[in-house]
């Protein structure tokens, strides 16, 4: 690994690496099919840079997720197949490690899930877009097809969806594999409860309101508030075992450090809720 890791300030923050690391973050700067704003390939490193300014204790849960160990990886990524291979290698670490993947465009998600080779997995999909097209701009592996390409791995519950093509509306009307919701409400909670016990969590940052998250590849008005996304995380980690997650589609710019910092805070919040529900009292943190 070259470069600093998540939360590792180059001046004064000690390493987050431990003898046993319960969190592993892989930077996946893959960008091949973006169709609006370019630059998602720079998202992973922008998240790492912004993370250096996060306080370690969670302000509401009162825990320090970094004490359970965070390893940051920069695998050699050339195409979707190399992403699948990397995810397959990480899957061998076992169920005691929460794997996180920082993209890059949303097309990395089906490649990651394929590599994890989980049986009977549910998928929770936060996004402004359903990504259920069969093909877009001549490619079946386009980021606009990522949801469609993930359906074969498990049933999907989508939250934050507020932009649909005719093709996607037709698909949703006949599919029993995908449920899409605009809002975070009881119907979405019930749908998540109906998923298998093990889930994969995919968060496209445009699922969050652009009042909070403007630097994304394909912005849409509306979306989840910060409090709603935290409530969703709390609910998901309490109800299910998250085997892995991704956070994708940050398109950073020097004029908008708020989006990069918010993305980094979201990644650390994911770790905090996992630690709160699955590690505290069960696993001893290492200092």
Q: What is the CATH number of the domain that holds 55?
A: 3.40.800.10
Neighbours of 125 (CB within 10 A): 27
Spatial separation of the C-alpha atoms in residues 20 and 15, rounded to whole Å: 13
Contact criterion met (CB below 8 Å) for 156 and 178? yes
Scanning the structure block, which residue is given the tokens 């394929």? 114
In the predicted model, what is the mean pLDDT of residues 253-267?
A: 95
Nearest residue to 89 via CA among 244, 247, 235: 244
In the predicted model, what is the mean pLDDT of residues 128-139?
A: 95
**Does any domain span residue 287?**
no
Tens of pLDDT, residues 145-200: 999 999 999 999 999 999 999 999 999 999 999 999 999 999 999 999 999 999 99
Q: Give the pLDDT of residue 236.
A: 98
**Does any domain span residue 208?**
yes
Q: What percent of the chain has pLDDT over 70?
A: 97
Neighbour-count burial of 254, counting CB atoms closer than 10 A to its CB (0-12 exposed, 13-18 middle, 19+ buried): exposed
Neighbours of 257 (CB within 10 A): 15
**Does any domain span residue 18?**
no
Task: State residue 123 phi and psi, 5-degree precision.
Answer: -125, 125
**Does any domain span residue 82?**
yes
Tens of pLDDT, residues 65-113: 999 999 999 999 999 999 999 999 999 888 889 999 999 999 999 999 9
Tens of pLDDT, residues 6-45: 998 755 666 888 989 999 999 999 999 888 888 999 999 9
**Does any domain span residue 5?**
no
Find the domain containing 270 and state its range.
23-279
Spatial separation of the C-alpha atoms in residues 79 and 195, rounded to whole Å: 30
Task: State residue 62 phi and psi, 5-degree precision.
Answer: 60, 40
**Does any domain span residue 3?**
no
Structural tokens at position 28: 């996946």
Nearest residue to 207 via CA among 169, 179, 181: 181
SS3 of the chain: the string is CCCCCCCCCCCCCCCCCCCCCCEEEEEECCCCCCCCCCCHHHHHHHHHHHHCCCCCCCCCCCCCHHHHCEEEECCCCCCHHHHHHHHHHHHCCCCCCEEEEEECCCCHHHHHHHHHCCCCCEEEEECCECCCCCCECCECCCHHHCCHHHHHHCCEEEECCCECCHHHHHHHHHCCCEEEECCCCHHHHHHHHCCCCEEEEEEEHHHECCCCCCCECCCCCCCECHHHHHHHHHHHHHHCEEEEEEEECECCCCCCHHHHHHHHHHHHHHHHHHHHHHHCCCCCCCC
**Does any domain span residue 159?**
yes
Domain count, the chain: 1
Q: Give the pLDDT of residue 13.
A: 64
**Does any domain span residue 2?**
no
Task: State residue 110 phi and psi, 5-degree precision.
Answer: -60, -35
């Amino acid at each position: 690994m070259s470069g600093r890791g998540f939360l590792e300030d180059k001046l004064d923050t000690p390493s987050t690496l431990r003898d046993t690391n319960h969190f592993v973050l892989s930077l996946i700067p893959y960008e091949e099919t973006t169709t609006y704003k370019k630059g998602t390939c720079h998202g992973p490193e922008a998240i790492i840079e912004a993370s250096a300014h996060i306080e370690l204790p969670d302000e509401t849960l009162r825990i320090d997720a970094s004490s359970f160990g965070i390893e940051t990886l920069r695998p050699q990524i050339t195409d979707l197949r190399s992403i699948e291979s990397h995810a397959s290698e990480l899957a061998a670490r076992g169920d005691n490690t929460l794997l996180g993947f920082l993209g890059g465009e949303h097309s990395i998600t089906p490649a990651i899930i394929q590599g994890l080779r989980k049986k009977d997995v549910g998928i929770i999909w936060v996004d402004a877009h359903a990504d259920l097209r069969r093909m877009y701009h001549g490619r079946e592996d386009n980021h606009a097809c990522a949801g469609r390409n993930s359906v074969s791995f498990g049933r999907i519950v989508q939250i934050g969806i507020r932009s649909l093509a005719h093709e996607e509306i037709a698909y949703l009307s006949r599919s029993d594999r995908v449920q899409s919701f605009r809002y975070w409400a009881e119907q979405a909670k019930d749908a998540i409860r109906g998923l298998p016990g093990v889930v994969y969590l995919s968060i496209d940052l445009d699922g969050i309101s652009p009042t909070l998250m403007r630097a994304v590849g394909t912005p849409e008005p509306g979306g989840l508030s910060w409090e709603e996304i935290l409530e969703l995380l709390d609910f998901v980690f309490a109800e299910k075992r998250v085997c892995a997650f991704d956070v994708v589609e940050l398109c950073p710019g020097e004029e908008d450090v708020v989006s990069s910092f918010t993305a980094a805070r979201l990644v650390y919040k994911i770790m905090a809720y996992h630690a709160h529900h699955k590690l505290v009292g069960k696993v001893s943190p290492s200092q």
